[in-house]
């Protein structure tokens, strides 16, 4: 009779997981292109021929910026809540442009 192995339980590190949601603001430029910006991450803005393309480019850039900060053990902006290395989940919400 075969015995079932128990699933490995991750070790607790004592560090609280950090989740954040980033607001994506989208506007249409005069030339017809769309620009998406994540203002909580300075410099994260991207153009696209469509609204969806601009949002996708901005999301990808935001994740690259976060990954770079994790790699170099740099802090996230204060409004995102802490050290980048503790970040475990990022979600995006579309918000109206300011």
Q: How large a percentage of the chain has pLDDT more than 70? A: 66
pTM above 0.85? no
Q: Which fold has domain 18-96?
A: Double Stranded RNA Binding Domain (3.30.160)
In angstroms, the CA 39 to CA 82 distance is 17
What does the pLDDT look like over 39-70, one tens digit per residue? Answer: 888 899 999 999 999 999 999 999 899 888 87
3-state secondary structure the chain: CCCCCCCCCCCCCCCCCEEEEEEEEEEECCCCCEEEECCCCCCCEEEECCHHHHHHHHHHHHHHHHHHHHHCCCECCHHHCCEHHHEEEEEEEEEECC
């Amino acid at each position: 009779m075969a015995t079932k192995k128990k699933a490995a339980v991750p070790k607790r590190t004592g560090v609280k997981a950090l989740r954040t949601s980033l607001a994506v603001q989208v506007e249409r430029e005069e030339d017809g292109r769309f620009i998406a910006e994540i203002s909580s991450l300075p410099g994260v803005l991207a153009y696209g021929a469509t609204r969806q393309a601009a949002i996708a480019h901005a999301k990808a850039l935001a994740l690259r910026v976060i990954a770079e900060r994790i790699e170099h053990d740099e802090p996230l902006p204060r409004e995102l809540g802490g050290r980048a290395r503790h970040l475990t989940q990022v979600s995006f919400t579309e918000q109206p442009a300011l």
